[in-house]
Structure 1
């Protein structure tokens, strides 16, 4: 492949950008909602040291989506079922970090193996298989957009309801338990909410790269902010820019959306890490 082929793959659609954008507007809206909610959820994912759990849930979500594709059912529903099963198992059995990582390590290859089996048995369009792993900007149909927004809205509303006990449990679980916070219920509720968001994310960015929206924006925000309000706000902003920016760039070419989203998310993290590192050196020098 030469540079001309690469240019065509990335920007061949520029002359028809407006028309193509109109065709994938549903994905833009879904990506915007996902970026906002994913950024908020990602803050607690980082505080609870559960980045590995996101990937584990994504593998079971992928298996559920692949099973739905095989039997002709709704892919989003299959993805949600797989995510909720994984989230419930991890949340119920993995109270301690060591137990949780062991459970995730067992679930990940199992889910990936099931997903590959179901896709191998599927004899439909190969693009449908590929989109489950890497995302597809044209995969969000009009009848699915409402469900995606509704799922994100439910997850956001529930997250706001448990915000204070969840934050307390995330930052100091021992003190939270001593103060009477129902830590088990809070943890399980958060895991189920995380499962819902992962299921929606898999539909947009694919199972393999879902952490780019549920981990990286929050990790970047924590590098440059420390306040209880500034971190969630920055994380949602970074998630929104990554999701919407990646989709808008992908529209111009023929490449999948996931490389653009992951690249934007990674660049934001690199910039925040550099800024945070310089700020730390300045603080130590002044002190």
Structure 2
């Protein structure tokens, strides 16, 4: 118990990291659940890379300023999200193809911009984050994004759920699916930006998608999926930070690795379509 609590009791930077990661764990996984149900899980990864040139532009203008990098990242992320939809409508191509092209260009542009002024350390911070270096502005950004995300999700729960499970009925009922879809994408971009300071652009969606994918093995209901995803994300954040402290590992990758381990446990032992659950049902079905 001492090993579990002492890092957070003794060190302020560990407490900041834990609070920031818990804010991400509450807000981001529900978005990941909706992305998973829509079968657009890679959209979050695309948007995480799409914000890179905006963050890099903010860095060039104001250095390591959280407001400047966040404003630039928000503009770039929305441009990628809206631009992909516009291109697919104009050209008749698939939206995922447009997203892929835009995010590759955005990632390359962002790395190039940082390289113009910054060094290897700045590039590492951009790509991998520094969760143990979370300061007050970054912590306020994480908490603020969580504060915005949860009420908006509560208001849009029904139309977003209908769009996932019965899009034809949602269109017939005119629940405003297009408007809520855009609001949902904005929330994804905001959460990616909030995670950037801790996880970097390469792993910003780690706490969003891995717990969401793992949750499908613990519940068949939407509310249960969200609860399981949030619980797995919170456990991943706390355990990843402890592993980082005790084993001298990079904190962001440690959190993602713990989330990956919990996903593997869910695949193996989860009561819903887990490998062990399938194995137990097989003799019954054979008889």
- DSSP 3-state at the match of 1:206: helix
Alpha-carbon distance change, 259 to 115 in structure 1, aligned in 2, over 3 angstroms: same
Match of 1:7 in 2: none
Q: Distance in 1 between matches of 2:88 and 2:29?
A: 23
The answer to whether the 8 A contact 2:13-2:133 is kept is no
Q: Which runs of 5 or more residues in structure 2 are unaligned?
A: none
Q: CA deviation at 1:284?
A: 4.5
Q: Distance in 2 between matches of 1:225 and 1:19?
A: 35
Bigger relative contact order, structure 1 or 2 (CA pairs below 8 A, ≥6 apart): 1
Q: Which piece of structure 1 moves more, 16-25 or 30-39? A: 16-25
Match of 1:10 in 2: none
Q: Distance in 2 between matches of 1:281 and 1:45?
A: 29
Match of 1:46 in 2: 36
Q: Which of these residues, 38, 48, 51, is aligned with residue 58 of structure 1? A: 48
* 1:197-248 deviation line (CA, Å, top 9, x unaligned): 1111122111112232111101101023212321110000011111232223
Q: CA deviation at 1:39?
A: 1.4
Q: CA deviation at 1:54?
A: 0.8
Q: Distance in 1 between matches of 2:166 and 2:260?
A: 29
Match of 1:164 in 2: 158
The answer to whether the 8 A contact 1:27-1:138 is kept is yes
1:179 aligns with 2:173: yes
Match of 1:80 in 2: 74
- DSSP 3-state at the match of 1:229: helix
- DSSP 3-state at the match of 1:50: coil
The answer to whether the 8 A contact 1:94-1:103 is kept is yes
The answer to whether the 8 A contact 1:135-1:204 is kept is yes
Q: Distance in 1 between matches of 2:222 and 2:8?
A: 40
The answer to whether the 8 A contact 1:70-1:122 is kept is yes
Match of 2:95 in 1: 100
Q: Distance in 1 between matches of 2:43 and 2:246?
A: 33
Alpha-carbon distance change, 189 to 282 in structure 1, aligned in 2, over 3 angstroms: same
Q: Distance in 2 between matches of 1:112 and 1:147?
A: 23
RMSD of Structure 2 on Structure 1 (CA): 2.3
1:117 aligns with 2:107: no
